[in-house]
Amino acid sequence: MIITPKSLSITQLLSAEGEQYVVPAYQRRYSWHDKQLGELLDDVSLLEGSDTHLLGSIVCLTGYHKAGINELELVDGQQRLTTICILLHCIADRLKKDGETSAAHDVYQLLHARALGEAPVKKILLDSLDADQFDEHLCGKIPVQPDNQNLALAFSTFRKWINDQKLTDLASFLYRLKNQCIVIRLDVSDAKDAFKLFETINNRGLKLSPTDIIKNFILGNAARFGPGPLALARKKWAELLRHLDGIGIESFFRNFLCARLKRRITISYVIPNFKMVFMRQVTEASQLSDRHWYFDEPIADEAEESTDEIIHNGDEPKTAVPENMPQLSFADFLEQLVIGAKTYGEIVKAKTGLPAVDRHLRNLRMIKSLQTYGFLMALRVGGCSDEDFAQVLKLTEAFLIRRHVCRERSNENETLFARLCSVDALDPLKEVTEEFRRMSPTDERFRHEFAAFDFSAGLIDRARYCLEQFELSKQGNYSELLIAGPDAVHIEHIIPQKIKTKKAKDEFGDWVSYLGNNSETKHSHFVSRIGNLTLFAGTLNQGASNNPFGRKKSAYLNSAIKLTNLLPSEFPEFRFDQVEERSADFAEKAVEIWPIP
């Protein structure tokens, strides 16, 4: 491995006119937060005298320099360099605005590369998902709904800070940034060495995310396979990022492995299991001298990581990778990753293009059913028909709402759904039904637990799901639920969440007196039960009345949502006894709506 390290100031790093730093499409989106942005501004501002500040290192895949523009692929350090680019652009804009055209021109020169006789190009070129939004920010256009909130935050944070500085203070800051901030640039000419160096550096310092390590593992081995496989790997990783944009990528890999290994995987075991699958399954990997490192030792069982008890059925695999795992070419392995990512993205976002399926997927998201996604991905990728898939989703809704309400162990759910990844995707209903039936809580237990369940703030989407299903059972369509949209229809607490404060009394009325003896003590036990919740669209305009429930009645009567519209006629008064009564009624309906298969 030939490495050429260089200690460079920002001016030296950016001053070579024939060099352009490229953030390739396979790199993740910009991800610095306000804490990191603030620390950078403080680190530069607090430099004294001739002190220097080490910004860190970057790894560049350089190839061999030639005349014209030489593209340096950023294997590591793209976040840091993109941040410096944003900061310099914002400073240059301020200088230009204040008429300091010469100083602004000097900064702009650092931000552009030039080849003799050709037009300038960007010194730092984003070829990633952020490219278009980055260009909009450079032009001063602020996206109304930015795809990347972190990128928007960086521009807004720097622009605000810069605009608040005196020009003399800004000049001092710019000097320190350009001349006293140091970057260690590591130039590597061979791709496989660049990716190996990336992992070595980061394993000794900042903790990498599983996604970063997996990406580097794939690209590094692709470079060992040859230029063609490396080009394909870069392309496929960029496709994977597009399909998973806005979704936790680590979660995808975890579920991808659950589907492939048919067993529960927790996040800390994603990396070793992925490496084992790759080395055992990819045909080209059989020629690698270090292949045996990845699967000679068995990976610890995932149950060891959980503090919850797991019930084992004696049929869970004891090795990390099934022995009969089929061999795949590297290209086919990458294609399966991309197909899995596309399918996973459609499932998580509830955007398969099939209205009935997407409605069930939205419901599962509201229930908080992340543990099902590997299983559902396996079904879709395996060729499950739309009709069977919709039926599986319906069964899964009923099964999970029962288990969630009855507080069954979540890791048992994960183990079950990982095991169900082995069902025949072309004919899944019989086996899925049998498993759900075996592990479903009884009607008696579900009825009792549902009536007393505390739908606290963290579970409010689950309450919304239940109330929507009760509403649909009354009128058979989504009516106002769909017309108003999910953001307009919200959860209404009939007895308010707060009743003791002066503000609560002014806004909601004197519920403390209305509810009677021990109301403040009882309130916390009843306020989040299903019987105290309903759906409401718009703003609740309360009428004047000494009866705090009476103040709400006219608004309830005007609602097109039947659950809410019928409240005044079903309950002339509404206290804790009515919460219990209504909760019990809902519990009876729940047994009917979500039956045991």
- Is it the case that residue 10 has pLDDT exceeding 90? yes
- Is it the case that residue 484 has pLDDT exceeding 50? no
Tell me the mean pLDDT in the region 448-467.
Answer: 94
User: Closest by alpha carbon to 26, among 249, 253, 237, 248?
Assistant: 237
Q: What CA–CA distance (Å, rounded) separates 367 from 369?
A: 6
The dihedral built from the CA positions of residue 39, 42, 46 and 47, taken in this order, carries a sign that is positive
What confidence score (pLDDT) does residue 196 get?
67
Query: Confidence band (pLDDT; 50, 70, 90) for 58?
Result: confident
Residue 197: DSSP 8-state: H
What confidence score (pLDDT) does residue 480 get?
44
What confidence score (pLDDT) does residue 297 get?
47
pLDDT digits (tens, 9 = 90+) for 249-264: 999 999 999 999 999 9
| Lowest mean pLDDT, pick from 121-130, 201-210, 243-252, 580-589 | 201-210
What confidence score (pLDDT) does residue 410 get?
87
Query: What kind and span of H or E run contains 313?
Result: none
- Is it the case that residue 298 has pLDDT exceeding 70? no
| Lowest mean pLDDT, pick from 187-196, 350-359, 360-369 | 187-196
User: Which is higher by pLDDT, 135 or 405?
Assistant: 405
The mean pLDDT of the chain is: 86
Tell me the mean pLDDT in the region 467-491.
Answer: 68
| Lowest mean pLDDT, pick from 390-404, 473-487, 531-545, 566-580 | 473-487
What confidence score (pLDDT) does residue 474 get?
80
HSE (side-chain half, CA atoms, 13 Å) at 165:
21
What confidence score (pLDDT) does residue 304 get?
40
Tell me the mean pLDDT in the region 329-350.
Answer: 96
Taken as a whole, the chain contains a residue count of 597
What confidence score (pLDDT) does residue 311 get?
33
Query: Confidence band (pLDDT; 50, 70, 90) for 25?
Result: confident
User: Which is higher by pLDDT, 359 or 312?
Assistant: 359
pTM of the model: 0.78
Query: What kind and span of H or E run contains 332?
Result: helix 330-349
Neighbours of 562 (CB within 10 A): 17
- For residues 261 and 322, the answer to whether their CB atoms sit within 8 Å is yes
